[in-house]
Structure 1
């Protein structure tokens, strides 16, 4: 799970920077959204650590257990959905707020 978390954080941060920053430039917003961007990137780290914490203390034998395969896959899919989907959701909210104001 550690590898998944590391790559998901890189993916999330890259998407967050490029997708959200592009949306902020197109809406002509001030520096405040950039500060929010930093907070959002820093805020995702505890969520990713929660995914990792569940799997970190397993022995190699427990980690290879077929009984945990479904739970591992579920956490893996959820992690990647958040890493890829959240930047686009945040960008949609920024664009929606810009349209209102």
Structure 2
């Protein structure tokens, strides 16, 4: 098999970090949104009479989307060769763990902070 065919076969079977990063960001945003709504509604049902839980929802738009785009930007700008480089697996895994930690942890952290502030105030 000549080099061009080997490269094409490799490219078709190797993981594309660019597409995978975009997929992770999209799913993380969905999970974050669902969790943020769930915990905010739960805070409202618990008797929070302030506007702070609604502010938590605004943080979703103002903060999480640019943060997720930052994670994605690093990966979508890769060249075709780097986009399939198995040597980037460790960096990719680290970035995706941070992304998912942010997507899952931030709704609880924000709502907890807002609950704390509303009980103190």
Stretches of structure 1 that go unaligned for 5 or more consecutive residues are none
Tell me the CA shift for residue 92 of structure 1: 1.1
Tell me the CA shift for residue 64 of structure 1: 2.0
Aligned length: 100
RMSD over equivalenced CA pairs, Å:
1.5
TM-score (norm 1): 0.88
For residues 91 and 32 of structure 1, the distance between their equivalents in structure 2, rounded to whole angstroms, comes to: 9
For residues 98 and 59 of structure 2, the distance between their equivalents in structure 1, rounded to whole angstroms, comes to: 18
Q: Rg larger in 1 or in 2?
A: 2
> Which is further off, 41-50 or 59-68?
59-68
Stretches of structure 2 that go unaligned for 5 or more consecutive residues are 1-20
Matched ranges for 1:1-101 at <5 A: 1-31=21-51, 33-34=53-54, 36-42=55-61, 43-101=63-121
Moved >6 Å (runs of 4+): none
Structure having greater relative contact order (Cα 8 Å, sep ≥ 6): 1
For residues 28 and 77 of structure 1, the distance between their equivalents in structure 2, rounded to whole angstroms, comes to: 32
1:12–1:84 contact (8 Å) kept in structure 2: yes
TM-score (norm 2): 0.74
